[in-house]
Structure 1
Amino acid sequence: MRLSSVLMIFLTFAAAAVLSLVAANYSVKLIEESSEISVRDALDDKGMTWAEVEARGLEVALSGTAPTEAIRFAALTTAGTVVDAARVVDDMSVTAQEAIAPPKFSAEILRNDSGLSVIGLIPAETDRDYVIARFNSLRGAEGVTDLLETADYPAPPGWDRALDFALGAMSQLPRAKVSVTAERVAITAITDSAAAKAKLERDLQRVAPDGLKLEMTITAPRPVITPFTTRFEITEDGAGFDACSADSDAAAERIVVTAIAAGAEAPRCTVGLGVPSPAWADAVTSSIFALTKLGRGSVTIVDADITLVAAEGTPQDTFDTVVGELENSLPEVFALQSTLEEAPDANAGPKEFTATLSPEGQVQLRGRVSDEALRELALSYAKAQFGSDAVYNAVRIVDDLPADWTTRVLAGLEGLGALSNGAVVVTPDRLQLTGNTGNPEASTEISALLADKLGEGAQFDVNVTYQEKLDPVLGLPSPEECEAEIGAIIASNKINFEPGSATIDASALDTMDDIAEILKKCGDIPLEIQGYTDSQGRETMNLALSQSRAESVLNELRARRVLTGSFTATGYGEESPIADNGTEAGREANRRIEFRLIRPDTVDTPEETTLESAAGAVDAAPQDDSESPTE
C-alpha cells in the first residue's frame, strides 16, 4: 500500500513535468513565430523585401543581400524596433560596389589683354608647374590665374598630346578660349582680319595631332572702310571695279549681280563698316545701271557723293537723260555730280608726273613738279616710303601746273606704296595707278585713299592685280618646301660640333642663322631634329651624344627666336647609317643632323626621312682613337 502511494506521487510529478515541458516548447514556438512575422512585416513596410527573417528560439536572424551598407544598417535598426536588438543576428551581406569611375579630366584656358586664366581638373601625373610655366612664358600674358585642381587617377589616352597642342596653340591666340579634353580641343578666338583668320586656321589644322578632334570657331571683325568707296568703270577693254564696298553680304551680292550684267567678270565686293546710308546698295546699283546706258565712262561713289563721268563722244541728249533718271532714282542723302568729257587740247604739252616701283623695290621719279619745294617734298616722301637708297629722282620744275598738283603727286606716291610693284601717272585731269599686290583688298583701299585725298569729283583709275604669290599669307612656303630648303642648306653646309661634345662649332653658326630664317617663314610646322653618330664607341654613349646634339640644335633655334613649340629633338645614335662605317669618309657622313617633317601617316623611324641625301654631317675633324665615343 505504501509502494502504490509513492508511485502515484512520482507519476503525478512526472506528468506535471511533461506538461510543463510541452507548455514551454509551445510558448517558444509561439514567440518565434510572433517575432519572425512581426520583424518580416516591419521590413516589408520599409520596402526591404530582399531581407529574409528566421527565428532561432529567442534570436531573430536576418539574411539576404543589401544593396548598400546603409540599407543593411537600416534593416538591423528596423528589426531592433520590433524585438530586443540584442536578439537580432546579422547574417546579411552587401552588394559589391563597382570601382569609382575616374573623373572627366578637362581644362578651360581663357586669354585676353588682361592676362590668362586656366581652370579645370587635370591628372596628378601631369606636370602642373611646367604647364603654368608655359603660360607665363607667353608674350603679353600679364599674369596667370591658376585655378587647376588635380585628381590621382591615370591620365586618359590622348590627354598629354591634347594638352601639349593647346599649350602650343595659345602662343598664336592673344584673345581666345580653349577647351581641352583627351579627345577634343575646342578653340574660340577673335582675329584682327580675314587674312589672319585664314592663316590661323591653316596653321592650327597643320600642327593638330592625328586623331585629335579639333573644333575652331574663329571670327574676324569686318574692316572699317573710310571713306566708304565704290568705283566702277566701263572702257573699250571691258568693265570692272576699281573698288567695291558693301555693308552686308546681301548688298554685296546685289552689287556684284549688277556689275556682271554690265559686263564685269568675276567681280567681288569688300563687306565692311562705315556705310553712309542703309540704301547704299540701291545707290550703287542705280549708278552702275546708269553708266551702262551711257556705254563708257566711270562712276565713283565716296560716302554720299556720286561722280558720274561719261566718256568723250557720248551724245549730249543721252547724257542729260541718263543723268536726270539717275538723280530721280537715287535715295535721299546721296548727291550726284556729272561730267561729260571733252576732247583734249591738241596743243597742250605733256604735263605729267610719273613714279615707278620695280619688283626689287627700286623707285624712279620722273616728269614735272610745280616748284623746288614740291620736288624736295616728293623726294623726301618717296625715301621715307621706299627707302633712302631705293629712290632715283629725275623730275623737273615747270610753272604751268594746276594748284592741286602737290596733293595729286603725294596721293599717287602713297597709293604706289601699297603695291608690290607698279606705276602711278599724274596728269592735270586724272591720276592713274597700276601694278601688282598680294593684298586682295588693295584696290578698294587705294581707291578709298585717292577719293579721300583728291576730293569730290576727282578722276582716277586704279588697275591693281592681286597675285597669290605676293600674298604674305598665301605666299608662305608649305611644310614640304621648308623641309626641302633646309635640306639644301645642310647638304652644302654641315652642322659641325666640337670633338666629343654637343657644343656646336663656331663654323656652323652661319648655317644655323640660315636655317632659322627659313623656319621663321615656315610658321609652326611639326618638325623633328634628328641626331646620328657613327658606329665607333659604345652604343649607349653614342645614343646619348646624338640626343644631346639634337637638343643643342633645338636650343640654338630658340636662341634665334624661332617658334619651336611643334619641334622635337631625338637622338638615334648609330642607327640608319647612310655610308660605310668602315671608312673615315663614311663615318664622317654618318655623324650628322637631319631635319625631318613629321607627317601623320608616318611613324617616327629614321629610315623614312626625306632628307637622307641632304645629311648635315657633324664633326668634320677626324677623332683620336682614344676618345669614346669617337664623335
Structure 2
Amino acid sequence: MFVLAALGIGAGVAFLVAWIVTGIIEERTRESIRLAYAAAGLDWAEIDTDGMQVRIGGTAPDAEARERAAEIAGRLVSPSRIVTAIILAPPPPEEVAMPPPGLEILRTGQAVTLTGVIPGAATRQQIDTALAGLEVTDHGEVAAGAELPESWARLLPLALTAMQALPRSQIRLEECGLWVSGAAPSQTERDRIRAMLSRPGPCPVSHDILAPRPLVSPYRFELGLAEHAAVLPACTARDESDIARIRAALEGLEIAGGISCVEALGAPSAAWPEAVLAAIATLRELGTGRVALSDTEIRLRVPASVDETSFTAAGEALRRALPEGFSLRSERSSGEEEDYALDRAVGLGARFRAVLPAEGGVQLSGPLRHDAARQAVASYAASLFGTGGLVNRTVTDRTLPDGWTARVMAGLDALALMHAGKLEVGETRIALTGSSTDPGAEAQVRRILGQVAGVGTELALSISYDAKAAAEEAAPSPEACLTEIRTILAKDQIVFASSSARIEGESAQVLDDIAEVMRRCVTSSFEIAGYTDNSGRAEKNLQLSAQRAEAVVDALLSRGVDLDRMIAKGYGEANPIADNETEEGRAANRRIEVRLVQPRAKPEATTTGPEPPADTPPPAEALTGTDDTATPADPATGTATVPPEEAPPRGPATPEATIEPRSTTEDGPVDTLPGRSDTLAHASPPAAPAVPGEETPPAGPPVALAPKTDDTARPAAPPPRPETATDAQPRPRPRP
C-alpha cells in the first residue's frame, strides 16, 4: 500500500516537473519565433504551441508572405513539429473605371429608349425636360460628380432638338461627336435640321436625314433675271443630286430669298435637269429675262432692251441644247411698260434712272407716278440739260410711294453737277456715279440728296474729279484764242531760211508765245497754212508751202501743243491776198497763216460734188507769219510780207501736196465760199426727241465752220467769227 502511494506520489511529481519543463520549452519556442517574425515584418502571423507542436496561423497578405512565415519557423524548430494554418487575405477590390459619358436615344413615335452614361444630375434634368410627354424606357446611368464635357454645352442641345423634330430617329452623342439619323416630316424641316447640324464646331457632327417626296404635277421651274437681281418662284427636282446641279448653275446670282428647290416625284423626263440647266445657261447669257418650264414646255421671254440678233441667237441655241421631247416658245417684249413689269416680276424694286453722257443730252427711264409727273420731270430735265439729246422712256406706276417725284427731281439736280454720270433712284437707295469738273461736287450732291433721302435711305455716291474736262471748261473761247495769236503775229513773224523749210532762230520766241496760247486753248483746233507767191513752178511752191507748214506744226508740237489739234497744209501760190505783179504784193503773199478749224465726226452718208482743183485753199481768215526776213505785218491785213525767193521750175503737182476736197454731208446744208471751190458742211442742231406734253423745239440756224472771205487784201476789221460751230445748248446749273 505504501509502495503504491510512493509510486503515485513519484508519478505526480514527475508529471508536474514534466509539465513545467514543457511549458518553459513552449514559451521559449513561441518567443523565439515571434521575435524572428517581428524582425521579418510578419506581424500578422499568430503563434501557438501545444507541447512540442508549433501552430502557425494568421492571415497572410499574399502567398509569398505565407511561405516566408513557414520558412522562418522551420529554421527555429523541426518542420515536423510545425502545423501551418495560415490563410491568404482576399485581394482588395479592383477600382472600376467610370465609362466616358455617352448617350444614345432611339425614338419611334412617342416611344423613346434612353441608354448611356449621363455626366451629373443637372444634365439628367436637362434630358428629362426634353423627353417630357414621351414614353421613356430609361437605361441611363448618372455618373454623380462627373464633369460635363466642354463639347456637350453645344452638342447636347443639338441632339435633344433633333430628337424632338424627328419622330423616327436614332441619335448618338459621344464625348466629342454627334451622329443623327432619321426621317423628317417634310423637306423644309429636313433642310432646317440639316442647316442647324451643319454649323461649324470643334467636334464633328454627321447626319443622315431623309424626307418624303411629294407627287407634283405639273413639274415646274421658273427663273427671272434682271441685271444682277434674280428671283426663283419655282424649282422642282427629282433628288438632292439634281438640286446640287441646279444650285451650281445658279451660283453667283443674287436670288431674292435664296435658292429653295423641292424634291418631288412626277418628273416628266429623266432629262429634266438637263433642260433646266440649258434654260439657266441661256438666261445668264442674255443677262435679263424670264424662263419658265412646265413639264416639257419651256417659255423664254426677254425685254425689249435685248437686241433682236442676240434674242434670236439665244433662242436657237437653247432649242438645240434641249433634250428630246421638250418644246420652246420664245418671246421678246415690245416696250418699256413690259420691261418694267418684268423688273417687278423678278423682284426688283422701282428704280428711276437717268444717264448723262459726256457729249450731252440725258436719257430718262423708269417709273413715275402718273403722266403729269412724267411731263414735269421731262420738262425739268430739259431745263437742266437742254432739249438736245433728251430721251424720255419713263413709265407710269401708281403704286410708287409719296415723295417719289421730289426724289427724282433732286436726283436730276445732283446729276446736273456732273460732267458725265448715271443716277439711280430707288425706294431705299439713291445712287449717283460720275465725274465732275468741280472738286467740291460730292459735298454739294450730298447736301441736295440729303434733303430728300429720309431715314433709312442709303446714299451711294462715286464721284471723281475730271481734270481734263475742267480744263476744257476753263479754256478761253476760240475767238479769244484767235485774238491772242493775231496780236502775237502782228508784232513778230515766223521767219524761214531762203527757199527752205528751216525756221530761223529769231522766230523761237514767236513760236513759244503761240504755243503758250494754244496749250491753254484746249477746245480749239488750228490749221497751219503755208503760202508762196506765183514765182517759179507751181508744184514746187506747193511743196515748199506744205513743208513750211509742217515745220511750224513740229515746232509747236515740241512746245507741248497736242498734235491732234493741229493740221498742216500747203497751198502754194493759191489764194493770194495781194497783187503778185508787184514786189510788195509778192512779199505779202509769201506767208504762214493760222486759222481755227472744227474737226467733224465721220458722216453716216455723204454726197460728193465736183472735185475742186488741188491748189484751191480755204479762205485766208487767219493769222499770218512770214518767211525769209522780218518784214513788219501790214496793219490793215494782219499779214506779214517777205522778200522774193528763188522761183523753182514749174512741173506737175506732187500727190503729197494735193488738198483733199471736202464733201457734202448729211449733217447739214453746204455752202460754197467765195474765192474757193471746196465746200464746208454746216452743223445743224439735232432735233430734240418728243417729250409728252411738250413741243419739239425748232432747229436752229446753220452755223458756218469757216467765215466767208474774198481773195484780196482786207482792210483792218474786227475779229471775224471763228471757224468753230456748236449747236449744243449750254447746260444750266441746278437751282440752289
TM-score, normalised to structure 2's length? 0.27
Answer 1 or 2: which has greater helix percent.
1
TM-score, normalised to structure 1's length? 0.30
